Every structure is written in structure tokens, then in C-alpha cells.
Amino acid sequence: MIDNEKINENTEPEKTYLEEPNEPMALDDARRVKVLSPGMLVFKRFIRNKLAVVGLGIILVMFTFSFLGPLLSPYSQTQVFKGLGQMTKDYASAIYNTELRYTVQEGEKFGAAERAQFLLAMGKNQTDFSVGADSYAYVPLGEGSYLLMKLNPIAEALLGNLRSLTGQALEPALVEAFNTASKNKQEFFSVGGTDYRIIQKGKTSQVATIDDVALATLNVFDAYNKTDEPLVNGYEFKVESTRAITEQKTTFKVQDSTYTLIDEDGLFTVVDAQGANFAEVSNIIVNPLQQSLFLEISFKKAIREAIANREDKVNYTEANGNVVEYVIDRVNTNYYIKTLVPTELIRIYEAPTSEHPLGLDNNGMDVMTRLMYGGRVSLLVGFVVIFIELFIGVIVGGVSGYFGNWVDTSLMRLVDLFNSIPFYPMVLIFGSVMDALEVPPMTRIFLLMAILGLLGWTGVARVVRGQILSLREQDFMVATEATGIRTSRRIFRHLVPNVMPLLIVQATAGLGGIIISEATLGFLGLGVKYPLASWGSIINVASDAYVMTNFWFMWLPAGSLILLTVLGFNFVGDGLRDAFDPKMKR
């Protein structure tokens, strides 16, 4: 009989792997495979990849920044910041007068027909013109000023004999004065304080009395006091002042009052007997741009002097003592007078401060807050689009790979059809349609995700089909068929899970591409619309070279976030690919 106890004493107990925990083991050691689950094995391989860990950290930071950041931010993504500033405002306009202004003597008539004939006569260099049975003449009073007269024929000369046209006898002094003027070839002569005009009509001459009718001038007359406007704008004042300017006189008389004329480089100031400014005479028109605004004569004078001297700025002292700076902007023959007025303005392109760490954008909104909310949109679009692509791709690829034959051929031709659709032209069309329909910004985001998902699932379908074609012939699939498991369960419970590691890798790597696509669409103005934000729409301002070169905080942070996020997803995708590879020994 065998002594079992003795055998047990002499027999060395079998070693187990768990009895030597301190013995070093490689990652691919068979003992370790027995200890670790497949998921833990993938995790251990993943964290051994330093770049993958860095990428995962970047993604976590981006998610924290985008989804938790707005909760901590004191601002909203549509909050506009305003401040008190100065804005250039159009105040008045000025122009050199090129259209004659008429002042008609009281009791006379000089209407549109007379004015039209007068302009035609000037164009033909004729000093006389007629309107119906009335005859008129004009004489220059100076540059841009004309005295218009009505001629009343009283006598006619034929072969040197002067005869009356009114039936009254002609005075000998009139006949003698006429003969002298005719001999000297003069057009005007005076007798007894009355002015006469000789009108040549072929071989005959007519003698006509002269009645002053109107004054046509390019000058503008402005009274310093409203009570003096009737006198300043009256016929006598304008004629006498114009004659004084033409004859370079320093004084002239109107209604027993003597006025002094001061020439200031073509701008004339009329001073009354008490030495006070009475009126301004100039050919520059200065008018307010608002009908309710009244311009002081002193202001008009200052503007006219600046224009005459070709100055682009005027410092004008108002009645209350405030000195206001006006800017004169010339556009062709027009001059626009502008001033800086205190106004509540939107604080645009404001540099980073402690209040706004990344400054304010072109709409006066906080850039950092917009980046937080924009990250939500960009990341959400990426994950939703990937989900849509996986959902459609797994169904089409799984059915195509499992059934094969005509089902496979039909579905692959469908994939080829979708691959033939040009991506950006189609997105341009959808963007234009949404713009025309004025789709709300929030609805636009969901439509954009649907479009990107429907146009990008073909790659997933091809990968799933290829994997299932190789898996469906393996033993475990024969067993599922033998046990009578229905077809949908075979595909989605036994085949697709074996493809999931590859799909996870492809989805993780594809997220970066989708984010770039969304950013590209936002940059082109086809993505998320204002006032909502995405990283692509934020970086859209870089399309302006001036903004790109002068306001780095408008585009560099958004570009950096896109770069880091895409790198993070690519690092994670590479890490998962290596971790799911059973041949990896790291």
C-alpha cells in the first residue's frame, strides 16, 4: 500500500502564478493575460502611450473650457459692451455757388421765362434779349453779378432822324445827347438824371429808358441779426454792396445809412456805422444738414475762411466759450463739415485687459466667452456628426457585408453615388437656401450637423463591410447560424461588436476632421450664424487682412483651440489604434 502522506511530503507543490507576485512580467506575458481583462489590457496599453495621454488631457481641457467655462463666465455670448466715446457726425455742408440767385426790385417782375432767356443770351454773348413784347438788357456788375434792366423804347432813329414813338415831342437835350452817343458809338447816355439805352436793330436805332428790374449774382448775403435780414436781402442793399465790391470801394450808402466794406481775401464783411458786424457777402454757401439746426453767421464765416485758405480743420469758439473742433472733408466740389460728439459707442476691437482677458471682438462681445460657447458648438457638431456617420455606416456596411451578392452590389453603388456628390458645392447650395429662407441660427446648427453626417458616412460603411466580409465565415458565425439566431442579431450582436474597436479608432481620428470641416464652413460664412458662435465663425474675421495684422486676439486664440483640439483627437486616435492592436508589445 502506498503511503500518501509520505508521497505528499516528498512531492514539491506545484507553483502558481499568484504565489510570486513580485516576479516581473512583460505586458504580453501569458500570466498577465490571465489576470487582466481585455478592456483593462487596452487601457494599460493606451496609458503607456504618452502622446495619447497628452491628447486625452487636451480633450478634457477643451471640454471643461467649453461646457463648464460658460457657467463660470460673468458674461453671455451675445452681451455687447458699450462705452462713452466720440463719433464723427456730419454737421453742415458747404459748396461754391455756381447757380445765379435773383433778387427782384419791388414792383417789378422777372420770372422763369425771363431768367431762361437771360441765360440763353449770356450763352450767346448777347447783352439784349426779349420775352414777348418786353425787351431786356443786362450789364455785368462784377465777377458773377449782373444787373438786369427792362428797356422801354421811346424814340426811333432812321437815317439819322430821331422821332418819338410815344406821340410826345422829344426834348432837344435828348436829341443832342443821342446824336453825341451815336457818334461816339456809346450804348448808354444820360439826360437830366435819366438813363437811356441805344438799341441797334438793323439799320434803325431805338432809344429806350432803363428801369432796373433785378440783380443776378453768385454771392450769398447773410445778416448777423434776424431783424436786419429784410434789408440785407433787399434789392438796394445787394446792388449797392455789389457795386462797391466791383469798384473796390470801402463804403456804400443804403437808405441814408453808410456801411463799411472789409475785404478778407474774397470774403467781405459789412460793418455798420457803429462798427458792429452787419452782414457777410461770399460765394460760398454753408447750410446745416439738419433743418432744425441754426448756424451762426460767425460759424459760417469761419468755415468760409477755412475753405478759402484750404484748411481741413477749424477751431470755433461758441457763445458759451467752448472751443469745438470741426473737420472739413472735401468730396469733389462739396465740403462736409464734421464734428466729434460724445456718443455711446460699441467697444469694438478692444485689446485684452483684466476685465476681458482676450479683448472684445468686432461686435463688442467678449472674445473668451465667445470661444467658450463656440467650443460647445464645434465639439457638439463633431460628436453628433460622428454618431450619424457611424449609425448609417454600420447599418449599410453590416447589411452589405453580411448578405453579399446583389444586396452588396446595390448598397456599394449607393455608397459610390454619395461619394460622387461634391461636398463643398453641395454645402454652398444648402447654405444659400438656408440664407434665403432665413433659417434661425439654432435650427441652422442641427441642419448643418445632418448635412455633414449624411455626406460623410460612406467611409464607415466601407470599413464595416470589409471587416464583416472577413468575419462572417469564421467558426463563431457558423455556430450562430446553427443555433438559429435571427439574422439581425447575428449582424448587430456578433459581427458589429467585433468591428467596434476599429470603428472607435476611426471615429476618434475623424472627429478632428469634422471639427476642421465645421471651422472651414464657419470661416466661409456657411456655418453657424451670428449671434451664435463657433470657432470657425469666430476666426472668420481673419479674412480681413487689416484685422489679421492688427488684432491678433481676434483670430489667434480660436485658431489655437482648433489646432489643439484636432491634435488631441488625432493623438487619442493613434493611441487607441495601437492599444487595440494585439500585436503591440508596449
| pLDDT level of residue 185 (50, 70, 90 thresholds) | confident
Long-range contacts, stretch 468-471, CB < 8 angstroms, 24+ apart: 468/397, 468/398, 468/401, 468/402, 468/495, 468/496, 468/499, 469/401, 469/404, 471/495, 471/498, 471/499
Report angle CA 354, 357, 359 to the nearest 5 degrees.
105
Domain count across the chain: 3
| Residue partners of 375: CB distance under 8 A and separation at least 6 | 62, 65, 66, 67, 69, 535, 561
Q: Are 88 and 327 within 8 A, CB to CB?
A: yes
Residue 123 in any domain: the answer is: yes
Its domain, for residue 532, covers 371-568
Examine residue 134 and state whether it is found in any structural domain, yes or no: yes
529 lies in the same domain as 558? yes
Distance CA 148, CA 138 (A): 4
Together in a domain, 123 and 204: yes
Q: What is the mean pLDDT of residues 250-277?
A: 89
Say if 426 falls within a structural domain: yes
Pairing of strands 323-331, 334-346: antiparallel
Q: Which residue has the higher pLDDT, 185 or 122?
A: 122
In-domain check, residue 554:
yes
What would the grid cell of residue 385 be?
456628426
Whether residue 1 lies inside any domain: the answer is: no
- pLDDT band at residue 14, thresholds of 50, 70 and 90? very low
Tell me how far apart the alpha carbons of residues 569 and 565 are, in angstroms, rounded to a whole number: 6
**Average pLDDT of the residues in 473-486:** 70
Question: Do 294 and 266 share a structural domain?
Answer: no
**Same domain, residue pair 244 and 326:** no
Is the pLDDT at 10 greater than 70? The verdict is: no
DSSP bridge pairs for 483? none
| Span 36-63, average pLDDT | 83
The answer to whether residues 250 and 317 belong to one domain is no
Residue pointed to by grid coordinates 512580467: 25
Residue 451 to residue 517: CA distance in whole angstroms: 12
CATH number at residue 479: 1.10.3720.10
Is the pTM of the predicted complex or chain greater than 0.75?
no
> Is 80 exceeded by the pLDDT of residue 41?
no
Final residue in a domain of this structure, among 221, 247, 271: 271
Q: Say yes or no: 107 and 218 in one domain.
A: yes
Q: Are residues 329 and 410 in the same domain?
A: no
In a domain, 532, yes or no: yes
Pull the grid cell for residue 424. Answer: 463643398
Question: Please, which pLDDT band fits residue 28 given cuts at 50, 70 and 90?
Answer: low
Establish if 404 belongs to a structural domain.
yes
Of 209, 237, 271, the residue that ends a domain is 271
- The answer, yes or no, to whether residue 15 has pLDDT greater than 70, is no
515/415 same-domain check: yes
In a domain, 27, yes or no: no
Give the residue, 330 or 435, on which the prediction is more confident: 330
pLDDT at 8 over 70: no
Same domain, 380 and 326: no
Which CA distances in Å does 382 have to 158, 386, 410, 448, 583? Answer: 106, 6, 29, 11, 31
Do 476 and 393 sit in the same domain of this protein? yes
Exposure string for 117-149, b = 16+ CB within 10 A, e = fewer:
bbeebbeeeeebbebeeebbbbeebbeebbbbb
DSSP helix/strand/coil, 278: strand
Same domain, 118 and 246: yes
Task: Tell me the pLDDT tens digit for each residue of 328-384.
Answer: 998 888 999 998 777 888 888 888 988 999 989 888 899 999 999 988 888 888 888
Q: Which has the closest alpha carbon to 240: 259, 218, 263?
A: 259
Amino acid 540 reads: N
pLDDT at 160: 67
Domain limit, last residue, from 271, 303, 330: 271
Kindly state whether residues 417 and 439 are assigned to the same domain: yes
Which amino acid appears at position 494 of this protein?
Answer: H
